[in-house]
Structure 1
């Protein structure tokens, strides 16, 4: 009996040893794991990433200055007034007159800002090794984009001027609502009508990764039965993906850079994030959020453009806000407004991106895959900004924020069998 008791005691002790070992094992340290990831980007690579992103802060200022100066020149030299008079001689219909004014205006302003576009979109991207395009390819795509912009912006300008004529000083509220409808239509048609003009969209090759992405989509009620690969490596070295479109045009896409550079866990982590935008209805909440920003922008235009015309309209040959020639004054106001609104527009987008990050971690269950992608993105995004720097200048969470979010999620789910 005594031997039996000793045997049971020994068995109980042996059974307890693994439990005791588990209880005394060190817990996963999310902060230490985050710092380990941070250490993988250092030296010249980190300095280059910081320099590229910090240079972007100045682009916000200089972009506004370029817009203000070019529109001021257009007004001061009388080009706007003469173009409006020319359009008025061609038609007496106000809407058609607006279109006839807007199309050459957009073309001329685009030509005036071409050196700035070249520096920002071509030279600087090549300087930091982020572009694969030849100058000819860049110019060709830019020309195509300009043609689309002339059509889209002419219609928008013509529509807004019609509202100004109809509602006078109260046009801005209805104008903001009409602009949101216009943008929603563009979001719906762009994936199937505009995006394919610039890139080839091919169905993703059948295989386990494609099925895993579609499985995530089905599990989260995303109505998509295919995944498309975009040949963006022709243009850039960046990785990206999206769930684009609205209603019947919804499309899951990832670029070939992500597919070629990422592991399956990394690709799933990115696609989980993109699916989050759809499931969380970010298209609609962003439309509403930017709707408020546009509303205030139009209110600023409605209040300030008449002041500018009273003060300088005589020199410009423009006295009426209903005259298409007054539009450059509106763009001057908008340039200042959106520069000052940068912290708000960035924060609105960044908060939605953070929500999609958390959703993607739960959907893909690949925290290390997500952290590795965040580090790849940090090769051209400053990885550890100050708090205020991130609030003002970042439209996505910083690399540190994203890795920290992933590691904290991993710490809370470390025991799950399906975590990668």
Structure 2
């Protein structure tokens, strides 16, 4: 490797180490699971519903989780930089070319090599996260099951990257306003992925079935009818084999739309709490958040491709020769494209998280209004926080980059406010 490349790699590595140390300090000193003094002793104070041991564990776990999250992006970036500056991408391309195999075979092999290298080099961070989750009793997933899920991740990721990059390089090779053409092509792809996610991809990881409690399912369906939603079933997923955490969600579009409850949620929450969660998910449906999410993905794709296209052309002109990239459509540039996507996705998180958090707040309000009460909302958020040992009031950077939901503090305070206003409304004389 030329001396100047060694120098560049050393700079990248030192910058990465410096960033890791700064984020470790930030994660450690901002991890105490506390709320402002004005809320001390209230239902929003974790000291009132966490045991002392759980509070201590949440503080330690919160710091570790936050550090791993903030390392995940730069760690992935460093991998792609190594593939480019270290010469591996160019070496793989040239070695495959010497085999004289057709491009239709060489390109899938090249993508496989890039994906495999990325997967293996990122694995230490994944193992660390899994080990920490197991240590603190959040994950219940056996090692072999975890490995299987990671291999499924790899397979799905490989097929996706192969399909997208093949189309991208072909469009780029045609010249013109290729970034705009890619955006037009991305629109049906985004819709297609949203459609198949719940019916094709999700079942690769977990087993989905009809809700095991028929009485509860009927009450949920009655609630859906009250909201004007035509539904005939609620899905249950067997997440207890993997985690003690709780969740419920709605995904898919059109005929693939599903409202899903984790079985851990069914086991740990009472009926009123579950109905509130379901009412929240119905709020997403009624307010067309999934459709708005699709439109948001299309819009952000245009911004990403416009900005990313400009940066891609500039970087290839500036450093392409040193990385062995001969043209914009050279397969050697795949790590560069993946690097740009990863960086732009990370940088845009505060915006996308803010939009998502507002949607979640609106769904919370809808759910309480549909039920006609916030009864159970406070205990529900408390139980959810304890099950995952969450920080109920995360620090600023964590809220910006990870906060796609309001904090537990915000949600509990909202429930308290709703219940107070609801009681005041009920206390008013008729007609006043």
TM-score by length of 1: 0.83
2:248 corresponds to which of 235, 241, 244: 241
Moved more, 328-337 or 33-42: 33-42
**Structure 2: distance between partners of 1:346 and 1:337:** 14
Q: Deviations over 1:188-233 (max 9, x none)?
A: 1121222222211121135432111111222223332011211000
Contact 1:223 1:250 in 2 (8 A): no
* Aligned positions, number: 383
Tell me, what secondary structure is at the counterpart of 1:358?
Answer: helix
Structure 1 equivalent of residue 295 of structure 2:
288
Structure 2 equivalent of residue 109 of structure 1:
118
1:404 corresponds to which of 405, 408, 413: 413
Q: Deviations over 1:147-179 (max 9, x none)?
A: 1221122111222222222344x3223323433
**Structure 1: distance between partners of 2:51 and 2:399:** 20
- After superposition, the Cα gap between the structure-2 partners of 1:97 and 1:301, relative to the gap in structure 1 and judged at 3 Å, is farther
CA RMSD between the two structures: 2.6
Whether 1:156 aligns to 2:156 is no
Whether 1:201 aligns to 2:235 is no
Shift of 1:344: 1.3
Whether 1:325 aligns to 2:335 is no
Structure 2 equivalent of residue 186 of structure 1:
193
Contact 2:349 2:400 in 1 (8 A): no
**Structure 2: distance between partners of 1:166 and 1:366:** 59
Equivalent residue runs for 1:216-235 within 5 Å: 216-235=223-242
Tell me, what secondary structure is at the counterpart of 2:77?
Answer: helix
1:259 corresponds to which of 245, 257, 266: 266
Structure 2 equivalent of residue 340 of structure 1:
347
Shift of 1:387: 6.5
Contact 1:188 1:245 in 2 (8 A): yes
Contact 1:68 1:332 in 2 (8 A): yes
Structure 2 equivalent of residue 377 of structure 1:
384
Contact 2:43 2:378 in 1 (8 A): no
Shift of 1:50: 4.1
- After superposition, the Cα gap between the structure-2 partners of 1:171 and 1:52, relative to the gap in structure 1 and judged at 3 Å, is farther
Tell me, what secondary structure is at the counterpart of 2:42?
Answer: helix
**Structure 2: distance between partners of 1:116 and 1:384:** 25
- After superposition, the Cα gap between the structure-2 partners of 1:41 and 1:178, relative to the gap in structure 1 and judged at 3 Å, is farther
Structure 2 equivalent of residue 311 of structure 1:
318
Structure 1 equivalent of residue 78 of structure 2:
69
Tell me, what secondary structure is at the counterpart of 2:406?
Answer: coil
Structure 2: segments with no counterpart, 5+ residues: 1-37, 428-432
**Structure 2: distance between partners of 1:387 and 1:407:** 23
1:128 corresponds to which of 136, 141, 144: 136
Structure 2 equivalent of residue 46 of structure 1:
55
Shift of 1:62: 1.3
Whether 1:356 aligns to 2:363 is yes
**Rg: which structure is higher?**
1
Moved more, 372-381 or 254-263: 372-381
Structure 2 equivalent of residue 3 of structure 1:
none
Contact 1:34 1:404 in 2 (8 A): no
Whether 1:394 aligns to 2:379 is no
Structure 1: segments with no counterpart, 5+ residues: 1-30
Shift of 1:75: 1.5
Whether 1:173 aligns to 2:183 is no
Tell me, what secondary structure is at the counterpart of 1:90?
Answer: coil
- After superposition, the Cα gap between the structure-2 partners of 1:76 and 1:384, relative to the gap in structure 1 and judged at 3 Å, is closer
